């Protein structure tokens, strides 16, 4: 870990913490609270937005190790893995990672292509996570660029009910049928430790460390040791190995109406790519001997996150502010590897291919009138991103494309509690950028408390997405291809309209039932796509396509004592209007059905817990261009199921969990809907997972 110097501290805004927290491993919260899209931390029942919460206990029950593992269980969120890069991004309602804003403690996370967008969720560990909040729909007023499909806000722990709290865990997993602890063995090996300490009534500090080592999955290939002259090369992995280290430290102060904290996080990731092609090399030993050499590549990522947050009152005006300095550097180097003898023959210098430096600030003022009936909020958001993308990151004309973006947004909203039952919140934002025209976003949200345990919410919002560097600056020309970016691209713009109904009640004998219904529509225009502009092989990024997504969902949960059952269903329809030089796609909706269930039961006397998670993703359909005509491409449906058993012992200080993930052994599925790009054909298989795995986790708590 390289030594870095933090040089920036500033004021900005987050959210006032006024609800009593709990040590979530030992007792339940009195009232579940959320912060995403709120003026202040608020009961989930009173939230103006529909917020889905995955709390710490649920995360622990899943035996998940990163954010991708958890969100894979959520309906209408599909984690899209890239086995070549090792990244896994979130897809909501058919819109990929560029349209989903990823936050940690309300601050967008630095990524390759921007702030908060296209974030690799496997790089976010869960060793110090309190809960994950998800809001579907356009949130451009609150969160600006890229919040078109939704927002995922990952909330970390910032207090503890104990003077000293220690938690450590070891988790070992097979990768399908492979497991070996030795160096360059098989499987997945995770270790983490978390220590929290209340210095006194006002000061709290916390440190955590996490190591996640994935040894790769060979699949139909034969690993890095293999060599030969096959017509179809078999060396390497279907899922390449990677090794992650993450460290976090926090110090927090809280007294009366003022609290602040400073948090630092460091991530190091090593990702190995083993070239499937190995070539014979003469040994020049006089005996005609030969060996096999391969040109392999190692990728290294360093990411630093610094955050300072303050919440206080200026008179009766509530002030909340965030400031963040974030830095990510992704590097690579090539080396020649002697496969039979297993040593590096030569090694080239290491080079950066994605480098990003971000200064981010967000500030908000509210409670100007000191009234429970009417409140308004005035805020700003500042994003200064600097860095570059080199040739390896995209098809750029120059060795590297420098990127320097400054955007500034100011937003205003008002919340009017017309009565105890009805609230309304309009909002608007103006965003100014050095490169693009001014962007205007607006929203209107309402909540109607139809009964003591029932809420009806209506939400309308707009958002925009700025073009990425690939879309702006790509330049790839050879004998067979002419692919160009477009510096004149306009930002994409869209809106969403949602209706959400929640109700809960007791049904007798200790049984409690709650259910919700939701309908959500997303409309996106000027969608950027790579379009053929001249036959046979001239392509250019253009604002052409229209995208619409329609979602209907119904969920129910029933609870009694130590038993709980949740059932979820959804129907998602997608309409894409795509254009090519000679063809236009139909615009009818293509629907996808999903269903899920989770069952939890705990034996009273011994506290043995059983958890079962199930998710079904139905067949998908999407129009794809084939032989100058748009045809329906199809993707197979699949089932996912995990089963976990946990047993505490020695006064609940230790807990052993064992289980099986991906019981149905899903790896890849048939797909004729994979859209290739201008110089890469779409595959007829879609890689999703590496198959069934077994795990054991030992956790210590003090």
Question: Which residues have CB under 8 Å from 373's CB, separation 6+?
Answer: 416, 417
Mean pLDDT, residues 421-448: 94
pLDDT tens figures, 258-313: 999 999 999 999 999 999 999 998 887 777 788 999 999 999 999 999 999 999 99
Mean pLDDT, residues 87-104: 92
Position 287 scores a pLDDT of: 77
Q: Is residue 639 part of a domain?
A: yes
Top-confidence residue, 428 or 683: 428
Buried b (16+ CB within 10 A) or exposed e, 635-651: bbebebbbebebebeee
Report the Cα 650 to chain-centroid distance in Å. Answer: 36
Position 675 scores a pLDDT of: 56
Position 641 scores a pLDDT of: 96
Q: Give the range among 24-28, 392-396, 515-519 with minimum mean pLDDT.
A: 24-28
What does the CA dihedral 664, 668, 672, 676 come to, rounded to 10 degrees? 150
Closest CA to 154 of 190, 116, 192, 189: 116
Peptide bond into 584 cis (omega under 30): no
Top-confidence residue, 230 or 491: 491
Buried b (16+ CB within 10 A) or exposed e, 397-430: eeebbebebebbbebebbbebeeeeebbbbbbbe
pLDDT tens figures, 653-673: 999 999 999 999 999 999 887
DSSP for 487-506? Answer: TTPPPEEEEEEEEEEEEEEE
Q: Is residue 70 part of a domain?
A: no
Cα–Cα distances in angstroms (integers) from residue 445 to residues 139, 153, 453, 537, in the given order = 11, 19, 20, 47
Position 115 scores a pLDDT of: 86
Q: Is residue 700 part of a domain?
A: no
Q: Give the range among 110-114, 265-269, 571-575 with minimum mean pLDDT.
A: 110-114
Encoding tokens for residue 137?
A: 């729909």
CB burial of residue 148 (10 Å; 0-12, 13-18, 19+) = buried
CB burial of residue 445 (10 Å; 0-12, 13-18, 19+) = buried
pLDDT tens figures, 630-643: 888 899 999 999 99
Closest CA to 141 of 331, 451, 362: 362
3-state secondary structure of 122: helix
Q: Is residue 274 part of a domain?
A: yes
Question: What's 393's DSSP letter?
Answer: G
Question: Which residues have CB under 8 Å from 679's CB, separation 6+?
Answer: 476, 480, 481, 483
Top-confidence residue, 580 or 563: 563
Q: Give the range among 45-59, 81-95, 354-368, 564-578 with minimum mean pLDDT.
A: 81-95
If DSSP states are collapsed to H, E and C, what string results for 23-44?
A: CCCCCCCCCCEECCCCCCCEEH
Q: Is residue 17 part of a domain?
A: no
Across-strand partners of 571?
Answer: 552, 593
Please, which pLDDT band fits residue 20 given cuts at 50, 70 and 90?
Answer: very low
- CB atoms near residue 291 (< 10 Å): 16
Q: Is residue 80 part of a domain?
A: no
Q: Is residue 288 part of a domain?
A: yes
pLDDT at position 13 over 90: no
Closest CA to 547 of 564, 560, 567, 528: 528
Mean pLDDT, residues 200-214: 95
Mean pLDDT, residues 453-474: 89
Closest CA to 114 of 504, 515, 389, 323: 389
Q: Give the range among 59-73, 103-117, 161-175, 276-290 with minimum mean pLDDT.
A: 276-290
Top-confidence residue, 15 or 384: 384
Determine which helix (DSSP H) or strand (DSSP E) holds 17, and give its type and residue range: none
pLDDT at position 679 over 50: no
Across-strand partners of 172?
Answer: 189, 696
Q: What are phi and psi of 139, to 5 degrees?
A: -125, 45
Contact 226, 267 (CB under 8 A): no
pLDDT at position 6 over 80: no
Contact 69, 80 (CB under 8 A): no
Give CA–CA dist 654/650, Å, rounded.
6
Domain count, the chain: 1
Instruction: Assign residue 275 the CATH number of its domain.
Output: 2.40.170.20
Percent of the chain with pLDDT over 90: 63
What pTM, to 2 d.p., does this model score?
0.90
Position 683 scores a pLDDT of: 63
Question: Which residues have CB under 8 Å from 316's CB, separation 6+?
Answer: 367, 370
Give CA–CA dist 572/575, Å, rounded.
10
Contact 561, 504 (CB under 8 A): no
Question: Which residues have CB under 8 Å from 230's CB, separation 6+?
Answer: none
Give CA–CA dist 591/621, Å, rounded.
7
- Mean pLDDT score of the chain: 87
Position 590 scores a pLDDT of: 92
Contact 75, 260 (CB under 8 A): no
Give CA–CA dist 231/252, Å, rounded.
60
Give CA–CA dist 464/148, Å, rounded.
6
Apex 74 CA angle, 72 and 79, nearest 5: 30
Question: Alpha-carbon Rg of the chain, whole angstroms?
Answer: 26
Mean pLDDT, residues 41-60: 90
pLDDT at position 8 over 80: no
Supply the range of the domain harboring residue 542: 195-647+663-684
Position 478 scores a pLDDT of: 66
Position 626 scores a pLDDT of: 75
Encoding tokens for residue 611?
A: 């958890």
CB burial of residue 357 (10 Å; 0-12, 13-18, 19+) = middle
Give CA–CA dist 695/171, Å, rounded.
7
Position 533 scores a pLDDT of: 77
Report the Cα 190 to chain-centroid distance in Å. Answer: 20
Position 479 scores a pLDDT of: 65
Q: Is residue 24 part of a domain?
A: no
Position 480 scores a pLDDT of: 67
């Amino acid at each position: 870990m390289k030594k870095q110097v933090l040089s920036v501290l500033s004021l900005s805004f987050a959210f006032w913490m006024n609800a009593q927290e709990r040590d979530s491993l030992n007792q339940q919260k009195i009232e579940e609270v959320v912060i995403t899209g709120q003026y202040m931390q608020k009961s989930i029942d009173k939230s103006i937005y529909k917020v889905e919460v995955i709390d710490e206990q649920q995360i622990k029950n899943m035996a998940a190790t990163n954010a991708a593992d958890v969100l894979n269980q959520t309906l209408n969120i599909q984690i899209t893995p890239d086995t070549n890069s090792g990244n896994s991004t979130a897809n909501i309602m058919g819109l990929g990672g560029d349209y989903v804003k990823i936050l940690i403690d309300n601050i967008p996370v630095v990524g390759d292509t921007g702030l908060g967008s296209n974030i690799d969720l496997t790089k976010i560990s869960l060793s110090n996570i309190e809960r994950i909040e998800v809001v579907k729909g356009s949130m451009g007023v609150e969160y600006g660029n890229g919040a078109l499909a939704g927002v995922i806000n990952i909330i970390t722990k910032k207090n503890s009910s104990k003077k000293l709290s220690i938690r450590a865990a070891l988790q070992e997993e097979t990768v399908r049928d492979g497991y070996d602890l030795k160096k360059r063995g098989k499987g997945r090996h995770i270790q983490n430790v978390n220590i929290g300490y209340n210095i006194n009534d006002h000061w709290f500090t916390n440190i955590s460390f996490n190591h996640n080592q994935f040894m790769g999955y060979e699949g139909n290939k034969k690993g890095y040791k293999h060599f030969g002259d096959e017509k179809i090369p078999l060396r390497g992995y279907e899922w390449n190995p990677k090794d992650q280290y993450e460290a976090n430290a926090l110090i927090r102060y809280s007294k009366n109406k003022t609290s602040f904290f400073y948090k630092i996080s460091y991530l190091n990731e090593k990702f190995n790519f083993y070239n499937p092609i190995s070539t014979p090399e003469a040994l020049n030993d006089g005996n005609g001997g030969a060996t096999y050499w391969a040109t392999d590549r190692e990728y290294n990522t360093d990411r630093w996150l610094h955050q300072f947050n303050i919440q206080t009152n200026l008179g009766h005006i509530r002030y909340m502010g965030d400031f963040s300095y974030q830095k990510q550097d992704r590097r690579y180097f090539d080396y020649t590897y002697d496969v039979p003898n297993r040593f590096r023959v030569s090694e080239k210098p290491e080079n950066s291919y994605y480098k990003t430096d971000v200064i981010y600030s967000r500030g908000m003022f509210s409670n100007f009138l000191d009234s429970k009936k009417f409140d308004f909020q005035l805020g700003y958001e500042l994003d200064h991103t600097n860095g570059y993308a080199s040739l390896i990151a995209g098809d750029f004309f120059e060795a590297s494309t420098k990127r320097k973006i400054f955007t500034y947004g100011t937003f205003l909203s008002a919340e009017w509690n017309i009565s105890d039952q009805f609230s309304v919140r309009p909002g608007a934002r103006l965003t100014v950028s050095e490169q693009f025209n001014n962007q205007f976003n607006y929203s209107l949200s309402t909540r109607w408390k139809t009964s003591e345990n029932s809420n009806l919410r209506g939400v309308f919002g707009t958002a925009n997405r700025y073009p990425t560097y690939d879309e702006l600056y790509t330049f790839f020309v050879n004998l067979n291809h002419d692919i160009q970016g477009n510096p004149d691209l306009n930002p994409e713009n869209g809106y969403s309209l949602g209706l959400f109904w929640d109700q809960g009640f007791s049904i007798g004998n200790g049984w409690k039932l709650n259910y919700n219904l939701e309908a959500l529509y997303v409309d996106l225009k000027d969608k950027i796509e790579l379009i053929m502009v001249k036959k046979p092989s001239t392509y250019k990024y253009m604002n052409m396509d229209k995208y619409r997504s329609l979602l209907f969902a119904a969920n129910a949960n029933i609870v009694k004592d130590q038993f709980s059952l949740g059932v979820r269903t959804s129907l998602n329809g997608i309409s894409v209007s795509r254009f090519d030089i000679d063809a236009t796609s139909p615009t009818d909706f293509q629907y996808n059905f999903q269903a899920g269930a989770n069952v939890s039961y705990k034996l009273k006397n011994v506290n043995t817990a059983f958890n079962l998670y199930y998710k079904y993703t139905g067949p998908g359909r999407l129009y794809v261009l084939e032989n100058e005509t748009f045809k329906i491409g199809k993707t197979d449906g699949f089932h996912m199921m995990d089963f976990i058993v946990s047993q505490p012992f020695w006064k609940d200080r230790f807990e052993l969990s064992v289980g099986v993930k991906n019981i149905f052994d899903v790896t890849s599925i048939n797909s004729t809907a994979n859209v290739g790009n201008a110089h890469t054909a779409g595959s007829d298989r879609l890689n999703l997972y590496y198959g069934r795995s077994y795990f054991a986790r030992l956790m210590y708590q003090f």
